[in-house]
């Protein structure tokens, strides 16, 4: 079946979501997050886009940007390709890191523009990673509140001022934008990671993927017996869902 054509934005502004292949972790540590932000800054100068918001989660990324001289597909290809090349080099792995096709939605008016920014910045709260937006290190919220380094804040502040921006982010809301389908797990990701480390001695998903097949299968069976769900094991170890499913 042919892919549905990407909806073109008349304003040039897109809300973008990239997700790890099989929902696997794409940021293992602080260095990985910083490298992706460095990549955004590098290609911002080359591709000429404006970046209005970002949030880096463990296994997916949200961006709000406006294209100019280059098409959105080329821009994301540049950013993702550069990061994957570095990530594979660092973790001595090969192959894809992101799902083949990123998700996008056009943002055509000021009201939805503000909604998307708030939605992106509130991702860590909704995922239970923090209780306050300003406490999350890898979103653009603090660039709006303090000093901007990477993000173009002027456009947003033409719509509302800084005080209104802060109040807007504190409002109770039911924002629904570009969604990522998440699973509900009995164990939190942090609890699951501790179990994976204890059983396999693997600190990253790449280390787990480099295990021999015998060891991998042995550990997968134990992890299932420890109560981790199939999807959670698949996501945190980078192992195919169908392979994990064989172990119950």
Quick one: 160 and 208 in the same domain?
Answer: no
Global pTM reads 0.76
Residue 58 domain flag: yes
Quick one: 151 and 29 in the same domain?
Answer: yes
Q: Indicate which CATH number applies to the domain containing 159.
A: 3.30.70.1290
| Domains in the chain, number | 2
The boundaries of the domain holding residue 238 are 189-245
Q: At what angle do helices 230-237 and 189-200 cross, to 10 degrees?
A: 70
Residue 8 domain flag: no
Quick one: 123 and 204 in the same domain?
Answer: no
The pLDDT of residue 1? 40
Residue 181 domain flag: no
Residue 2 domain flag: no
Provide the 8-state DSSP code for 135. G
Single out the residue in 142, 170, 198 at which a domain terminates: 170
Quick one: 145 and 77 in the same domain?
Answer: yes
Residue 179 domain flag: no
Single out the residue in 137, 170, 203 at which a domain terminates: 170
Quick one: 42 and 84 in the same domain?
Answer: yes
Residue 1 domain flag: no
Residue 4 domain flag: no
Q: Tens digits of per-residue pLDDT, 78-115? A: 999 999 999 999 998 888 899 878 999 999 999 999 99
Quick one: 162 and 207 in the same domain?
Answer: no
Q: Over its length of 248 residues, how does the chain's per-residue pLDDT go in tens digits?
A: 446 667 888 999 999 999 998 778 899 899 999 999 999 999 999 999 999 999 999 889 999 999 998 999 999 999 999 999 999 999 988 888 998 789 999 999 999 999 999 999 998 888 888 889 999 999 999 999 998 899 999 999 999 999 999 999 998 887 878 765 555 456 677 888 888 888 899 888 888 889 998 888 888 888 887 777 888 888 888 888 788 888 76
Name residues whose C-beta falls within 8 Å of residue 30's C-beta, 6 or more positions apart in sequence: none
Quick one: 147 and 56 in the same domain?
Answer: yes
d(CA 62, CA 109): 19
Quick one: 118 and 232 in the same domain?
Answer: no
Residue 178 domain flag: no
Single out the residue in 105, 137, 170 at which a domain terminates: 170
Quick one: 67 and 147 in the same domain?
Answer: yes
Q: Tens digits of per-residue pLDDT, 236-246? A: 888 887 888 88
Q: At what angle do helices 162-170 and 110-126 cross, to 10 degrees?
A: 50
Quick one: 166 and 241 in the same domain?
Answer: no
Q: Where are the beta strands (DSSP E) in 31-187?
A: 50-56, 60-66, 103-106
Alpha carbon separation from 79 to 13, 74, 102, 144, 169 (Å, rounded): 17, 9, 12, 23, 28
Phi/psi for 72 (5° steps) reads: -60, -35
Quick one: 20 and 79 in the same domain?
Answer: yes
Quick one: 85 and 166 in the same domain?
Answer: yes
């Amino acid at each position: 079946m042919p892919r549905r054509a990407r909806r073109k934005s008349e304003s040039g502004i897109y809300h973008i979501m990239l997700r790890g292949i099989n929902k696997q972790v794409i940021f293992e540590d602080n260095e990985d997050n910083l490298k992706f932000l460095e990549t955004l800054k590098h290609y911002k100068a080359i591709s000429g886009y404006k970046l209005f918001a970002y949030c880096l989660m463990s296994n997916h990324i949200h961006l709000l940007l406006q294209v100019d001289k280059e098409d959105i597909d080329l821009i994301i290809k540049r950013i993702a390709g550069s990061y994957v090349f570095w990530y594979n080099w660092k973790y001595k792995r090969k192959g894809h890191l992101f799902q083949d096709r990123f998700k996008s939605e056009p943002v055509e008016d000021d009201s939805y523009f503000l909604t998307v920014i708030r939605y992106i910045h509130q991702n860590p709260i909704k995922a239970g990673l923090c209780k306050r937006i300003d406490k999350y290190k890898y979103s653009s919220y603090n660039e709006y509140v303090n000093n901007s380094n990477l993000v173009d804040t002027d456009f947003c502040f033409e719509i509302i001022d800084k005080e209104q921006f802060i109040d807007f982010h504190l409002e109770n809301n039911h924002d629904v934008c570009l969604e990522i389908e998440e699973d509900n797990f009995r164990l939190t990701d942090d609890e699951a990671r501790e179990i994976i480390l204890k059983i396999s001695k693997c600190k990253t998903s790449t280390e787990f993927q480099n295990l021999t097949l015998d060891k991998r299968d042995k550990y997968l069976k134990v992890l299932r017996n420890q109560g981790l769900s199939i999807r959670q094991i698949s996501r945190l170890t980078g192992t195919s869902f169908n392979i994990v499913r064989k172990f119950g």
